[in-house]
């Protein structure tokens, strides 16, 4: 049973053309994350939501925005994709660590969306 | 600044032998460490974790060792199986880092039949 779903799995867009990636979860987790992963690099956290509270990483470009209309869904908007934004985008969820035992927590990842910018 | 490092991009091991994957970290405030496994075209999946109050955690064929003084952890897979061939990511977190995990760059393990 899919728990974290990402659509589409592959996305091709043109340089400068806005694109939206979506993520949904059936786990009812408080926290949702967006990561960017380029080849042979560590997943890089772009931002995360704790419920409706948005937490942006300091080095995330303004070109990347996110929306979380409800617990289940989270969107990544890339306003003007550049060639350097071609990557795998991973969505993940977790429970809030502060509400439980950190040492039992983990993140659940979706399969990712591979973005190609032409 | 990469706070979690996996210095070996790849590792090849014969089936039935031990695989040892290594990970180093720099932030002494990390107190929770995880290993994820990733197959091509899939997202990472949780494999095993360890908190800083332990130095070893075992789950079947998988054992994670933590050396806090050296800021080093390792994942041992015994015996290695061809289905273990994947990319393994080390990740670290802690109460001080809130809801964030920091990932290494991954080690691609190939288990040769």
> How much is the mean pLDDT over chain A?
90
DSSP 8-state class, residue A3: S
Question: How far is A103 from B51, CA to CA, in rounded Å?
Answer: 6
Neighbours of B21 (CB within 10 A): 23
pLDDT of A96? 72
Contact B44 A90 (CB under 8 A): yes
Angle, vertex CA A50, rays to CA A47 and CA A54, nearest 5: 45
Instruction: For B9, name the nearest residue in chain A, comparing CA atoms only.
Output: A40
pLDDT of A97? 63
The answer, yes or no, to whether residue B1 has pLDDT greater than 80, is: no
pLDDT of A39? 85
DSSP 8-state class, residue A60: S
| Nearest-neighbour CA in chain B from A20: distance (Å) | 19
Contact A109 B45 (CB under 8 A): yes
Contacts of A75 (CB under 8 A, 6+ apart): A20, A21, A22, A23, A66, A67, A68, A69
Say whether residue B82 is in contact with chain A using an 8 A CB cutoff.
no
pLDDT of A2? 66
Say whether residue B40 is in contact with chain A using an 8 A CB cutoff.
no
Contacts of A47 (CB under 8 A, 6+ apart): A33, A34, A54, A55, A56, A57, A60, A64, A66
Name A10's bridge partners: A114
């Amino acid at each position: 049973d899919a728990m974290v779903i990402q659509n589409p799995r592959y996305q091709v867009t043109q340089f400068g053309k806005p694109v939206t990636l979506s993520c949904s979860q059936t786990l009812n987790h408080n926290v949702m994350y967006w990561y960017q992963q380029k080849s042979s690099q560590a997943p890089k956290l772009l931002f995360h939501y704790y419920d409706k509270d948005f937490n942006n990483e300091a080095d995330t470009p303004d070109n990347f925005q996110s929306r979380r209309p409800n617990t289940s869904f989270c969107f990544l908007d890339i306003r003007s994709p550049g060639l350097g934004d071609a990557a795998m985008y991973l969505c993940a969820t977790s429970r809030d660590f502060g509400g439980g035992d950190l040492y039992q927590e983990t993140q659940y990842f979706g399969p990712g969306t591979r973005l190609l910018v032409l | 600044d990469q706070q979690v490092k996996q210095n070996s991009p790849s590792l090849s091991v014969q089936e039935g032998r031990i695989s040892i994957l290594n990970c180093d970290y720099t932030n002494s405030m990390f107190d929770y460490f995880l290993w994820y496994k990733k197959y091509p075209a899939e997202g990472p999946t949780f494999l095993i974790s360890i908190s800083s109050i332990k130095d070893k955690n075992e789950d079947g064929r998988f054992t994670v060792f933590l050396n806090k003084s050296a800021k080093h952890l390792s994942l041992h897979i015994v015996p290695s199986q061809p289905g273990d061939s994947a990319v393994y990511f080390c990740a670290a977190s802690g109460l001080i880092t809130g809801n964030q995990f920091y990932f290494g760059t991954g080690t691609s393990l190939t288990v040769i039949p």
